């Protein structure tokens, strides 16, 4: 069985992105690890219909119910749960996504400040050379933010700005959200039907 994908949710705006990401991952993944900050719980309540709760068991149940996931498919870890699998390089997830990512979390990851499980998990993924995708949400970026992104990009981290396109003529917010989520899933190697690849019809050679 493939190892789980880890999702870290910080307190930046952009919660529809991670809700869509989780909704699509539960279609293909047997197990998803989730880490969520206290600030993220507040922002989720502001930006979605989901009231996530505070303790890990409540968050786990509410996420499972909201996303119609199978029981046990989503495992939530608290920020100080150092016994979690993601805390050890001997058992890293196969990939990790930080979505949406605050600039403070970006800084902590870029500078190796593993003072909570979310930061430590990202540190493990980097040192074990697994896929790490960061979806930053801030505008404008300062030179500090950009330098931190450059530092991580040079380590092989994928910096994927929450930046929807318009050539597909989005009809609503979901279309714009799903454009970004489709790109995340592409980099995770997870199949989806959110959006066809650009100019896919040109790949078909007539007989």
With tokens 């699509």, the residue in question is 24
pTM of the model: 0.93
Closest alpha carbon to 23 in 172, 170, 192: 192
Residues in the chain predicted with pLDDT less than 70, given as ranges, are 196-207
The Cα–Cα gap between 176 and 164 comes to 5
Tokens standing for residue 169: 């003529």
Quote the Cα angle for 20-57-78, to 5°: 80
Q: Are 126 and 157 in contact (CB under 8 A)?
A: yes
How much is the pLDDT for 171? 94
Element (H, E) at 73: none
The domains found in the chain, sorted by start residue, are 5-192 (3.40.50.1950)
Which residues are bridge partners to 16 per DSSP?
Answer: none
Q: What local confidence, expressed as pLDDT, does residue 194 receive?
A: 80
**Confidence at residue 199, expressed as pLDDT on a 0 to 100 scale:** 63
Beta bridge partners of 7: 34, 97
Residue among 138, 137, 134 at smallest CA distance from 118: 134
Distances in Å between the Cα of 32 and the Cα atoms of 26, 54, 97, 141, 165 are 8, 19, 11, 31, 28
At 43 the pLDDT is: 96
* Residue 97 φ then ψ, to 5°: -125, 130
Residue 40: its pLDDT value, please? Answer: 95
**What was the pLDDT predicted at 114?**
87
- CA 36, distance to chain mean position in Å, is 11
The pLDDT tens digits for 104-146 are 999 999 999 888 999 999 999 999 999 999 999 999 999 999 9
What's the rounded Cα separation, in Å, for the pair 207 and 199?
19
**pLDDT of the residue at 206:** 54
- DSSP-derived secondary structure letter, 97: E
* pLDDT of the residue at 2: 80
């Amino acid at each position: 069985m493939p190892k789980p994908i880890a999702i870290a949710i910080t307190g930046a705006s952009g919660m529809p992105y991670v809700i869509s990401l989780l909704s699509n991952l539960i279609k293909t993944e047997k197990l998803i690890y989730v880490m969520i900050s206290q600030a993220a719980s507040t922002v989720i309540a502001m930006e979605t219909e989901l009231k996530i709760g505070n303790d890990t068991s409540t968050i786990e149940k509410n996420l499972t119910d909201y996303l119609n996931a199978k029981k046990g498919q989503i495992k939530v870890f608290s920020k100080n749960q150092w016994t979690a699998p993601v805390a050890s390089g001997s058992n890293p997830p196969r990939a990790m996504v930080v979505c949406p990512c605050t600039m403070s979390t970006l800084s902590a990851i870029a500078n190796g400040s593993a003072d909570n499980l979310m930061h430590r998990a990202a540190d493990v993924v980097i040192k074990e050379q697994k896929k790490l995708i960061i979806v930053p949400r801030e505008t404008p970026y300062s030179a500090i933010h950009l330098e931190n992104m450059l530092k991580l990009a040079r380590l092989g981290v994928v910096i994927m700005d929450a930046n929807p396109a318009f050539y597909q003529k989005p009809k609503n917010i979901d279309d714009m959200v799903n454009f970004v989520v489709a790109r995340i899933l592409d980099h995770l190697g997870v199949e989806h039907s959110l959006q066809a690849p650009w100019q896919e019809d040109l790949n078909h050679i007539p007989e």
